[in-house]
Amino acid sequence: MPLARGPRRVVSLVPSLTEAVAVTVPGALIGATDWCSHPADLDDLGVVRVGGTKNPDVPRIVALAPDLVVANEEENRAPDLAALRAAGIEVLVTEVRTLGQAFRELARVLAACGAERRPRWLADAETAWHGVASPSARLRGAVPIWRRPWMVLGRDTFAGDLLARLGVDNAYAAHAERYPRVSVEALCSAGLDLVVLPDEPYRFTPDDGPEAFPPDTPVALVSGRHLTWYGPSLAEAPGVLGTALRAAVD
């Protein structure tokens, strides 16, 4: 079913959305942040870098004369978005805290960017996640996203929703904050069944992260793109994440 008429000139301030727009509406993307790493050939395609997600170069974006800037209420700062609107630029702001929201917001963004039809990858992602049978044996886990200081996923997060569908219940899901600071000592004494360490925003590696936890605590090193991005990677995410989680606890 058609979604819109013709591609528009789009600047994306969200890595997930950059990938989604680039692969769905070829030629529409004219600007992206320094953190936008997918697709890998963005620079070869002439996409202009416009700074970070938290500190975009507003004058440079305005100079590109986009028809639309796509952003996210969590990743981007309200004053920057207000400045773009004040310059007469349309800004579409997404809110994504659950998988269901991600699917709805992706469809909305792609339609606004001029997609002619619903992309195959989005249908594949919905099918992949619809086929996930949540394990009856639940694991109580924590998901550090930073160290020095240590921070974890708290309430109402997209990544927390994905993990819950895969059988991992976030020990900090009821915390008052969405990304609380928690000492490593508290994490080590929390009686966790599993610690999930993504490679972004902090790049946890086999040599940087697992050593902080008791040797008998299972640790899963996972792809941050599959855990926190909402875009084409969602089609692979159940398999990629499921494999990493099972390897940690088996």
pLDDT digits (tens, 9 = 90+) for 194-238: 999 999 999 999 999 999 999 999 999 999 999 999 999 999 999
136-171: pLDDT as tens digits: 889 999 999 999 999 999 999 999 999 999 999 999
For CATH 3.40.50.1980, the residue range(s) in the chain are: 10-118, 130-249
> pTM score, two decimals?
0.92
Alpha helices in the chain (DSSP H): 15-24, 58-64, 78-86, 99-112, 120-130, 158-165, 184-188, 224-228, 237-249
CA distances from 216 to 45, 56, 212, 248, 249 (A): 47, 43, 12, 11, 10
φ and ψ at 31, to 5 degrees?
-150, 150
Does the N-terminal peptide bond of residue 39 adopt cis geometry, omega within 30 degrees of 0?
yes
**Percent of the chain at pLDDT above 90?**
93
pLDDT confidence of residue 231: 95
| Mean pLDDT score across all residues of the chain | 95
Taking the C-alpha atoms of residue 212 and residue 111, their distance in angstroms, rounded to an integer, is: 45
Q: Is the pLDDT of residue 5 over 80?
A: no
pLDDT confidence of residue 147: 96
Q: Does domain 130-249 have CATH number 3.40.50.1980?
A: yes
Q: Which CATH number fits domain 10-118: 3.40.47.10, 3.40.50.300, 3.40.50.1980, 3.40.50.720?
A: 3.40.50.1980
State the pLDDT confidence band at 3, using cuts at 50, 70 and 90. Answer: very low
